[in-house]
Each structure stands twice: as C-alpha cells, then as structure tokens.
A and B are shown apart, each in its own frame.
Chain A
C-alpha cells in the first residue's frame, strides 16, 4: 500500500476528509520550505502538494504566479525541489505530491525525474498542463517508478473523457471546483452532481480544489469528497506573514480548516 492510499484508507475509517496543502518549493526560500511543511503537518495537513516553480504557469492565478516568481528568484528548479522533497521526507511522513508543468520535467528528463523523485520520497505527480493523452513516454516512467499520476477533472470535462482520465489516474482524482486558474472564486454549479457521478465511476479518493479558504468551504464538501485542497489561500498567508512568521501563521490557518474536515 502506498502512502497516499494508506492515508485515504485511514481517513475513511475515521470518517474524515483529507486536508491537502499546496506550497511552492522555494517560497519563501529553499532553506525554509522543509520547516514550513513541518508546520503544515502540525496544523493538520494530511498531504502536501509541492509546487515545482515554472516560469510560465498558465494554469495559475496571481497568488501562485507570484509565489513561483519568488521561488525562481531564489534559484529554485526541479533539481532543488527534489532536494527539498528529500529534506521534507526526513522530517515528516505525509504523502508528498510534486505539482508542476510539462516543460521542467521534460527538460530534466522524464525517466530521471521519475527515479529521483521516487528516491527523494515523492509519492505522486500532478502535471498541470499535460492531459493523459499527451506524452505516453513521460507518464510511463512515472508509473514504473511507483509514483501516483494524479489527473484532474473539471466541471467542463465532458463525460466522454472520464473513462480515459480514470483509466490513467492513480492516487486520487483532483476535481477542480470551477473553470479558470488557481485562486479564489465560487464553485461551479453542477459540482455536486459531478462529485456524485465520479463516485459511481471510480474507487479512487476524490479531492476538491480551487477556491477553498474557510471552514465553511471545507464543510460544504462533507460527504461529497474525500479531501479538499487549499492552495492560493495558504500561499497568500505565507507570503503576507513573511519568512519568520510563516510557519506559525500557516499552521494556525490550516488548523481552522482541519477542524472542519
């Protein structure tokens, strides 16, 4: 059993939702990232999505764009993000999912990325701009290295794509609550139906992300999803707090959400 499947099995037993927390590797600095993840764990995070910064994050809103720029300005890249993952793995037992775009992985080399990510204690990957149809040559080594390939479903995904997505998805299914880029915003109409529909199609856990910021948002998915993802709302608080206060602020913020899980 993988760390990710163990996590969701335990959560299910306890009738709880998982709290998935996104952080950009290298924001505020590469040195501070591992300690920040530790703080997230203290705040109740169940799984970490570790963003590997890319220069042109077209699926991200202003908060994560800015965070990526901060990380890049400190020289963060795929290799250093994997080093950060290794340091994080030495401190916590949470599942770690690397989240990035196709180009940095291709440049690093898909096979090399797969083996080094697995060796660094990474459990899964999300490649935001790569649907399952593209680059079978990239997905295959990731699977072979035992990494979960987490795919997205959105309110605009037509039913004819579900089968393809669910065939290649592992770990969990990431349901995007609305159209658009990462950040604040109301969930789309029809999201509840989408979540119900997915439950009939897959046994994989389903996590909802985009626009999650308050305990009320978290509670809205009670009984409908197995996890919620908090990204921009967390990153914004980390950036506003400044490097020294970030761990305490992030932990307190997550605690408020975790209690609603």
Chain B
C-alpha cells in the first residue's frame, strides 16, 4: 500500500474527499503562488538548513521526552512519557510552524504578516518570528479570547505586533480567522497570512503539517533510544489539530502505534456546548476547507464552548477528517472539568504546568494508561505550557 504521506493530499490539495480550496476567486491565484513557493522551498537545502538552525538555536529543539514517573505510578498503567513542546521558545509547538512560514514570507519578499489566534500562542509565536525576521505583524483575536488570555495579548504587543480585537460572532478563534481571511484577500499582494493550524485552503494543511512534523520525527528517535521501540500509543489534543498532526504524522504508516486525538467536550457533549466535532460527525465547508464541522440543520456554523481558547473552534483540519474516516486515529472528548482536574494533577505530581489545551490530552491519557496496562508506553504530546491560563484556572478551580 502506498504510504499515507505520499498519498495525501493529492495534487489538488484533497485528503480523500476533504480539504481543497474553498475560497473566493481573489485568493485562488495567490494560493497557487504560495503552493509553488512552498514546494520550491521544501526542496531547497538552504531553506531547510536555515529552518533547522533556527529550530535548534532559537526555539530550543529537540524538545525533551520526559518520563512522567509519578503520573505513571499514580495511574497504575502504561509508562507515561511527555513530549515537551511546552519547552519550546514562546511556550508551545506553534513556533515550529510560524518559523517555517516566516522564512517563507521573507522568501516571497512580502513585508507584512497577519495571523489569527485563539489562545494567543500562535499570535505570540507569529509576533516572535516577525520580530526576529523584521516583518510587520498584525494579529486578529476574538475579544472574548483577548479577555481570557490577556497575558498573551501583552506579549504580542511587547514584540511589536498590532492586535486587532474581533467583535463579530462568538468573538473567538473562528471569528478571528474570518477577519484574517478578509484582511488577506484585500492585502494579499504584500501580505502573507501565517495560518496557525492544519486548516484552511490548500496548501496550508499540508504546509503546517510538514512544519509540525518535526515533533513526531524527534519522538521516533527519542522513543527508540529510550525504550528501544516505538511508542504503543500517542495522545494529543485537537483544536484545529496542528500539534496532533505534528506528533502523529511520522507514525501514520506504523500500524502498531495507536493514536488518539482529544477534543474539547466543554460543558459536556449532552449540553451541546462543546467543540467535539467527531462526536456527532457532520461534514461541511468552513474557512476554505471541506472537513468535519459543528453546524445546525441549515448549514450555519454553531457556536462552540471550551474552557480552553485553543480548542474552542467548530471545524478541524481536513487530514484529521480523513484519519477519522479511515479509523486510523481515534477521537475522544474530554470536558472542561476533566481537563481542569488533569491540569491540577500534573502540576502537583510532575511539577509541570500545562496549557489548558494540553491538559485535555493529559485527562484522556489517564484512561488510556489504564486501558493499555503496564509495560506499554504512552506518549502525551504536551503541546504548550500553562502560564497564559493561570487566571482562568484560578477562577475555575475556586468554583470547583
């Protein structure tokens, strides 16, 4: 059978029936151009060498694979390891992608960058790379997210970025993407849109995946070195799905490696207030791609809820849709409450404060660890650190 990586996406940017380019005509030729420049850069050893150098000496890669001995003991099942994306410069995996796209922006000769952000991690990573490379940076962020992730708004501004509050819709990530796409379609001549997840029209899903795939490549080498074998199971949270694809991609063609994506169950699936796209799967088109999306009977996009801004999004990357359909990755949902409880647990017994997004993966890992049993290895992709979440968590934990 052909390898997944060689099969998907096809030449027109489709992952099976998912993906593609659902954009207004204005963006079609610019997307062709972006795909062409990216494909050239991908093959260009000097581009790859510069990216690798920066990942090592600016981001701090490779990130460690930490054995979580006390969690392992507490859960009484599989041996738990943490892939420490929280130790990346700027505090999350997001910078793997922004660095790649930042270099690409410079290669295209565009002086201005725009980005959307939910939790603010992608906005911070974009602002950082723009400061590093001398690019102008403007970030769109929902006003609700600006309120709940205010430390990240300040970080972006410190690094010279302009942050535009978005007041439409639910004032969260979805609305920030709407606004960023509108800006891009007006200014595409001199602006690159650094999209932060494996979303949007082709080539974004494959490009962001390729930049994040460094996570899985490192993980393979580290797992082999430390345990002498591939991990038995990898678990990652899925908002748009970039940290998950980054961790999974290397292992899609390794059938022995079980992979689990964890979505935001919000107040609980039964309340309808969540961001779990795969619990009652429905396919649609949002933000330039055909994928699973939360929508009503009239095809209007539903409002979502999650305690974690980075998972609070109604659609999901199209490659996840295909992985779901193919049964290659399992998707589970974890509620706000379960995520918060996992957040506290890992703080207390491992000395690691995770992002609320990553805490969702930790929460489901507890179930997985017991299911897998001893002598198995379970890797949690700890996609980010939780400094940005302290206000939310103190508020929420006081309530509980």
Contacts and interface: CB of A to CB of B under 8 A. Distances in A.
Interface of A: 54-59, 61, 65, 72, 77-79, 101-108, 128-131, 133-135, 151-154, 156-158, 161, 165, 176, 179-181
A79 B303 CA distance: 21
Contacts of B298: 77-79, 104, 107-108
A61 B179 CA distance: 10
A134 B20 contact: yes
A156 B174 CA distance: 26
Given A78-B298, A107-B297, A153-B25, A56 B30 contact: no
Interface SS majority for chain A: loop
14 contacts: A56-B286, A58-B182, A58-B185, A72-B300, A77-B299, A103-B295, A106-B284, A107-B295, A129-B22, A152-B25, A154-B24, A165-B25, A180-B187, A181-B185
Given A54-B299, A131-B21, 12 more contacts: A55-B169, A58-B185, A58-B287, A77-B299, A103-B301, A104-B298, A106-B283, A129-B23, A134-B22, A152-B24, A179-B26, A181-B186
Interface string B3-34: 00000000010000000111111111110100
Contact of A154 (B25, B286, B295): B25
A156 B299 contact: no
Nearest to A69: B168
A14 to B, nearest CB: 30
B288 interface: yes
Contacts of A165: 25
A55 B186 contact: no
Given A58-B178, A134-B21, A103 B285 contact: yes
Contacts of B284: 103, 106-107
B238 interface: no
Given A103-B286, A107-B295, A179-B185, A129 B20 contact: no
Nearest to A131: B28
Contacts of A107: 284, 295, 297-299
A128 B185 CA distance: 13
Given A58-B181, A179-B189, A78 B21 contact: no
A102 B30 CA distance: 20
B304 to A, nearest CB: 12
Nearest to B293: A103
